Structure 1
């Protein structure tokens, strides 16, 4: 694809998303609709929205990379936890919704139950950090793809990626995110089921695919390979299962959903999501086949999927894959912007700055927060860290919230102090270690950094609950 073709395709995609977002906008704009869609999110839109929102850069690129590098066990340990995390989130989402029916976020619930600034602010550190990570990894992947295809400068490509998502997110917040997510998910599934079978046909069918199941070295044919389970499986599983609990994209949709449809939304969303990495990973297996390795060299293992498509299919098919990637990455970016607007307006602006703010002011602040975090995320992305590093580092951040959130939702004995200490110690213990481990490539340290956070959280929360001799009953909390 030429630079001109790619830019025209990008412009057409942005135009469609802008039109869809504008048509979905309500005549009378309210903060409730902008942040939680008036709590009317149904099963179909909710399931496709959360599935599309979870199609981060890893689901588009790392799935094929893991299949190429580590064969069957690589994609197994990437995909299974990715699907299971939706189901693990359901009981937590139901509990949060029942306890704070008119809530907006997990930090919102923590403040409502414990009336503690310390636990509230420490949780916001995790949630804002996680959304910032979502912006970085998806803008980075989109920028790398556009750079590879067009030769345009990386900063320009990254700016195009974030600019595309923010342009329509500003129109109607979560409503724009959900409606465009549905369109994007349909587009992703259609293109994946068109392009991947076509590649298989061009390379010789299932025989070539089977030859690459062991990865590029051929040594990973056993799906339960202990080396991969230890070096990647442990860290990925902890990161992925913890992810939704630290992800405001999930909680925002949980609080926006119709209560009775909430379990179906996340169960169907998990199954719909799982299709994408499974199908796209086949491109990695194809690239790993010995015959393919003799045919051409993969220049960038992070981009093995598009490189395979570009080599075997015509330009317009590659354009389809670019559109798939653009849809997947921008769906997460727009969801991150919507999540940030909710966190900032409810948990920062109304909580600490202007409690009596009216709808008009809340909408202005929500849009401003989107823009500020878009600029901050773009700035970090320009440093161009490795995709896999970012994936595992923000996973360590997410795991810092998993155990404390479970205790906060289900334990009568847990205290605000215990939660605050658990969150902060988990972050301080795991995130710096994860950054060091992933940049040095030390497998043992990567595993240790993944385990540190939940272990610290479990120990601190357990001790806090045991020392508290006066358990406190808690029930549904009205808005305060």
Structure 2
């Protein structure tokens, strides 16, 4: 089975698509190469060193952190899927989409600042696992993390290639190969993590400008007629949605909408917690930047699916039977909807070919940002957690960076081939979204316990995810067969079985871990994490787990009263290890840790309980309430632009000024010669 035939509908010429894809790749390669050169010469930031390549020397500020996290979480699936599910279930779906994205990033703020407290020199989440559980646990979580990155990255490429194929006629195999093997491989291999931070900022700025254009352009089009016009036209539709109150698209009481939100909340959590890229971004931040950077991104991300998805999804419902729609006079098929053509077809109908070019640019921004982030994560796993740990423990800094470059290129080739296999297998965006959680969610709770619960044993950490994965798949397939009587591509992407499977895969490992940990219990001493050193220091071996170990918070030890550098001498004497932070810095970190928990709980309660549940009743939005709803959503987009585009420029003004002055001085010196 190959890619779906969309009836030879093309929105832009194939040559234009090739030109855009290759031209944008060359442009961003040039931009990143210049940025790498400037930061090396004028800011003394050398991506040829592993600390810089993997964790950006741990110097990234709040603004750039927020922009990078926002960009990494603004997947092409997010923009396309929010419109798709608004079309299917009504305006509740984009709201639930935003709610799920917010709390997931807020949770990562909690884990990020806790990792700074307990594992200040970590480079990857897997390094933390190795220090606690040794090689067996390390290898198990390497597999879990690679599964997450491979399926997460391939789902982006799958979605992008099918959209490119559908809107331009470019063969999906060509699109699948060009995306990861073009700009992403080159600028990631050369620039490292700081390079992705810088390009994430440019991606975010361009993407938000395009999103604002799409939102306003569609809303004010004569076929839509503004806020009131859109409301009147949706109310006049004869379309009825099964499971919605009165079948209306303008109600929060939607069975399909809330089930979509629950599946997204539970299933997509692995895309943050199990993605080493999000951990690396937190390791790369300054001490004071982790919590505000991640939480700023968490708040800003809400506006993307909420406003864009609502306007595009409802507008598509209004025009999908009109002559202006690309499929007219043929119907807009279920396959086309589930593959993600709600957004590009609506943009073509209302904004013309220029809008489609803008959509293509948005796809490029989202794809290169998320895929490059995945490549840095995988390269760090292969170079640091595999090569330096098991193949060449004595590898120097230069060698590790070289392996990282090779790993990026290898991952680009591999992920292109894997995405092609999914394409030829007939997978679409919807099926991937429902399938992946069964494989990626089982490691979440054991990984969180690794940093938060000192009594989780090595056996529990290794076995619990495997049992959880088996349980999730069994529940998913069993529920599907029980409800629909057959297992195939269509039935296995139904909502209810996927939710049951995702919830089982997420939470059952916590139960398994607690039960297994009762067998030969022990208490882990958190000070062992302080034995992890900088990448260019002499490697050390993980500690042996002893039932006699006792828990000890490093902030209560006498060593916290000083600020040493990393030791280059391996030691097993925990009394001789100390945090690199002084007592004052540790107090600030613990204060940020409390703030992170308060923010996470507040966001969770606000976006899942206090705001939406009172609206989950037998009520259809009236015109003023609908107008206010969409207006606030659009305002949120502007707030996002200020938070992750304008603020990073202000926050990084000193580095920008320093780089500009250095460049100006070099130009003036050259002109005088």
**For the superposition of Structure 1 and Structure 2, which TM-score range results when normalised by the shorter chain?**
over 0.9
- SS of the residue aligned with 1:471? coil
Q: Does 1:271 align with 2:292?
A: no
TM-score, normalised via structure 2 length: 0.67
Choose the corresponding residue for 2:146, options 108, 128, 151.
128
What do residues 378-424 of structure 1 show as CA deviations (whole Å, max 9, x unaligned)?
Answer: 11211311112212222333321221122111112110111111112
Q: Does 1:412 align with 2:454?
A: yes
What do residues 292-342 of structure 1 show as CA deviations (whole Å, max 9, x unaligned)?
Answer: 434434352112101111111132222112101210111101111111111
Which segment is superposed worse, 337-346 or 21-30?
21-30
Alpha-carbon distance in 2 for matches of 1:298, 1:322: 21
From the superposition, tell whether residues 261 and 77 of structure 1 become closer, same or farther in structure 2 (CA, over 3 Å): same
Determine which structure has more spread, i.e. the larger CA radius of gyration.
2
What do residues 332-380 of structure 1 show as CA deviations (whole Å, max 9, x unaligned)?
Answer: 0111111111111111111111111112221221122122222222112
Q: Please name the residue that 2:403 is paired with.
A: 365
> How far off is 1:456 after superposition?
2.0
Q: Does 1:459 align with 2:511?
A: yes
TM-score, normalised via structure 1 length: 0.93
Q: Specify every segment of 5 or more residues in structure 1 that has no aligned partner in the other structure, as ranges.
A: none
Q: Does 1:304 align with 2:304?
A: no
Q: Does 1:393 align with 2:421?
A: no
Which segment is superposed worse, 51-60 or 434-443?
434-443
Q: Specify every segment of 5 or more residues in structure 2 that has no aligned partner in the other structure, as ranges.
A: 1-11, 242-246, 326-330, 481-487, 533-539, 541-673
> How far off is 1:207 after superposition?
3.2
- 8 A Cα contact 2:69 2:278, kept in partner: yes
Q: Please name the residue that 1:16 is paired with.
A: 27
Q: Does 1:315 align with 2:326?
A: no
Q: Does 1:90 align with 2:109?
A: yes
> How far off is 1:127 after superposition?
0.8
Q: Does 1:472 align with 2:500?
A: no
> How far off is 1:433 after superposition?
5.8
Which segment is superposed worse, 147-156 or 260-269?
147-156
Q: How does 1:44-443 map onto structure 2 within 5 Å?
A: 44-114=63-133, 116-164=134-182, 165-202=184-221, 203-210=224-231, 211-212=233-234, 217-218=240-241, 219=247, 220-230=249-259, 232-281=260-309, 282-289=311-318, 292-295=320-323, 296=325, 297-298=331-332, 300-301=336-337, 302-382=340-420, 383-384=422-423, 385-431=427-473, 434=476, 439=489, 440=491, 441-443=493-495
What do residues 11-56 of structure 1 show as CA deviations (whole Å, max 9, x unaligned)?
Answer: 3321221122112223542111111111111111111111111112
Alpha-carbon distance in 2 for matches of 1:189, 1:227: 28
What do residues 203-250 of structure 1 show as CA deviations (whole Å, max 9, x unaligned)?
Answer: 2211353344999535243314234324x2332211133431101110
Task: Output the aligned Cα RMSD.
Answer: 2.2
Instruction: Name the count of aligned residue pairs.
Output: 477
Which segment is superposed worse, 100-109 or 217-226?
217-226
Alpha-carbon distance in 1 for matches of 2:498, 2:308: 26
- 8 A Cα contact 1:414 1:468, kept in partner: no
